[in-house]
Amino acid sequence: MRPESLDFLRAIVDTPSPSGYEERAAEVFRQYTRPFADSVVTDVHGNVWAALHPEAEMRVMLAGHMDEIGFIIHHIDDKGLLYFSGIGGHDSTIPVGQRVWVHGKRRVPGVIGRKPIHLLEEEERKRKPNLHDLWIDIGATSRAEAEELVSLGDVATYQVEFQPLLGDRATARGFDNKMGSFIVAEALRLLSEQGGLDPNVGVFAVATVQEEIGLRGARTSSFTINAQSGLCVDVNHAIDYPGVSPSRYGKLDVGAGPSLTRGANTNPIVFRMVQEAAQEEGIPYQVDVAPGGTGTDGNAMQLNRGGMAVGILGVALRYMHTPCELLSLTDVENCAKLMAAYCRRVRPDTDFTPRLLD
Ligand SMILES: [Zn+2]
């Protein structure tokens, strides 16, 4: 990956952006895309899109959500301990013992505490904790001391940053799905720098908000952009480690190329165009099957207005919604190339109506 791109990936992943609090990540996305986009827009919901040929009649929307899961403070007790709710889907076994940043008046370090093993009742040892049994301890000794820095509604994220691993693999908190915002921005950069986009086709690379709490930003941005076709990109569960079975979930390997979803949530013409693009450009890909609507922004996009012709791309990721999400950077790069290749194949008169083709 070229160094400037890697810096951008690192910056957007490391920037905290729990759902509803995406402003900082939005600024990282704007700064990166401004030099090569024809326009950069932020809407009232917080979605940001960078566009090429924004005036074109035929429009393609590329979406990668920039929110991440996190915690929100809902109570501060007399001792200055912070009680929190989860933003997005958490496995309650994960937070115990983690360091966090509380994003208050300034970035405040804290730890997530729980009674130690010695003090747990027999029955408590057997079950996993509830999030409401946990708290954040910032070292304050009173509510007043905590409230000097932290207010109700402030959010917290794990103190974990981007870390390259062996080979082309890396781990971070929030790859889900800031690597998706990275990919849509990179796809737009490739189109801008390498060309090949029809002058009468517009491309909108959208960093959507609030996906983790119900695909909310995709809904509003899809309506405004009103594209005929779109590609969503999100992380996808790698099925390549002990305990997960391809016979149950389908096979998906880290490092074997972006996934391309087939099923009702995707338009068959778009699926075929993306598949042909991958084959012609020599980009490896894996087919992922979804029998119904998916949990991605692609679901909201497809149901926009009278319907959008949607394709769903994924990057295989291990340990989703934990502080140690793991993926292949080559998959990420290939996914951006594939998105750009799809956009180059869209014409002002492309007909996305599902029909039988030979
Ligand atoms: Zn997620």
What does each of the 358 residues of the chain score in pLDDT, given as a tens digit? 999 999 999 999 999 999 999 999 999 999 999 999 999 999 999 999 999 999 999 999 999 999 999 999 999 999 999 999 999 999 999 999 999 999 999 999 999 999 899 999 999 899 999 999 999 999 999 999 999 999 999 999 999 999 999 999 999 999 999 999 999 999 999 999 999 999 999 999 999 999 999 999 999 999 999 999 999 999 999 999 999 999 999 999 999 999 999 999 999 999 999 999 999 999 999 999 999 999 999 999 999 999 999 999 999 999 999 999 999 999 999 999 999 999 999 999 999 999 987 7
Q: Give yes or no: residues 150 and 189 share one domain.
A: no
Among 116, 132, 158, where does a domain finish?
A: 158
Q: Give yes or no: residues 99 and 126 share one domain.
A: yes
Q: Give yes or no: residues 188 and 249 share one domain.
A: yes
Q: How many domains does the chain have?
A: 2
Q: Are residues 104 and 17 in contact, defined by beta-carbon separation less than 8 angstroms? A: no
- Nearest Cα residue to 71 out of 143, 21, 114: 21
How far apart are the CA of 24 and the centre of ligand 1, in A? 19
pLDDT confidence of residue 163: 98
CB atoms within 10 A of CB 52: 22
- Beta-strand pair 99-103/107-113: antiparallel
Among 132, 158, 184, where does a domain finish?
A: 158
How far apart are the CA of 296 and the centre of ligand 1, in A? 8
CATH of the domain at 19: 3.40.630.10
* 350 CB burial (10 A radius; 0-12, 13-18, 19+): middle
Q: Give yes or no: residues 212 and 110 share one domain.
A: no
Q: Give yes or no: residues 308 and 338 share one domain.
A: yes
Residue 246 lies in a domain: yes
Residue 354 lies in a domain: no
- Nearest Cα residue to 60 out of 46, 49, 68, 48: 49
328 contacts: CB under 8 Å, gap ≥ 6: 167, 168, 169, 254, 255, 315, 316
Q: Give yes or no: residues 209 and 289 share one domain.
A: yes
Q: Give yes or no: residues 30 and 135 share one domain.
A: no
CA-CA distance, 312 to 294, in Å (whole number)? 9
Q: Give yes or no: residues 267 and 294 share one domain.
A: yes
Residue 272 lies in a domain: yes
Q: Distance of CA 209 to CAs 9, 31, 138, 221, 226, Å?
A: 17, 17, 28, 9, 17
Q: Give yes or no: residues 243 and 178 share one domain.
A: yes
Q: Give yes or no: residues 63 and 78 share one domain.
A: no
CATH of the domain at 93: 2.40.30.40
Among 211, 212, 325, 333, which one carries the catalytic annotation?
211
- Beta-strand pair 229-237/58-65: parallel
How far apart are the CA of 78 and the centre of ligand 1, in A? 34
171 pairs with which residues across the strands? 163, 326
How far apart are the CA of 141 and the centre of ligand 1, in A? 35
How far apart are the CA of 302 and the centre of ligand 1, in A? 19
Residue 165 lies in a domain: no
How far apart are the CA of 199 and the centre of ligand 1, in A? 35
Neighbours of ion ligand 1 (CB under 5 A): 176
How far apart are the CA of 235 and the centre of ligand 1, in A? 7
What sign has the CA pseudo-torsion 54, 14, 106, 70?
positive
CA-CA distance, 221 to 301, in Å (whole number)? 9
Residue 185 lies in a domain: yes
Q: Are residues 155 and 70 in contact, defined by beta-carbon separation less than 8 angstroms? A: yes
Integer Rg of the chain from CA: 21
User: The domain containing residue 332 runs over which residues?
Assistant: 3-68+173-345
pLDDT confidence of residue 13: 98
Q: Are residues 226 and 59 in contact, defined by beta-carbon separation less than 8 angstroms? A: yes
CA-CA distance, 264 to 292, in Å (whole number)? 5
Residue 49 lies in a domain: yes
Among 111, 126, 158, where does a domain finish?
A: 158
CB atoms within 10 A of CB 86: 18
- pTM for this predicted structure: 0.97
Amino acid identity, position 239: I
pLDDT confidence of residue 357: 76
Q: Give yes or no: residues 115 and 187 share one domain.
A: no
Residue 350 lies in a domain: no
Q: Give yes or no: residues 189 and 151 share one domain.
A: no
| Residue indicated by tokens 């087919």 | 287
Q: Respond yes or no: is residue 148 known to be catalytic.
A: no
Residue 94 lies in a domain: yes
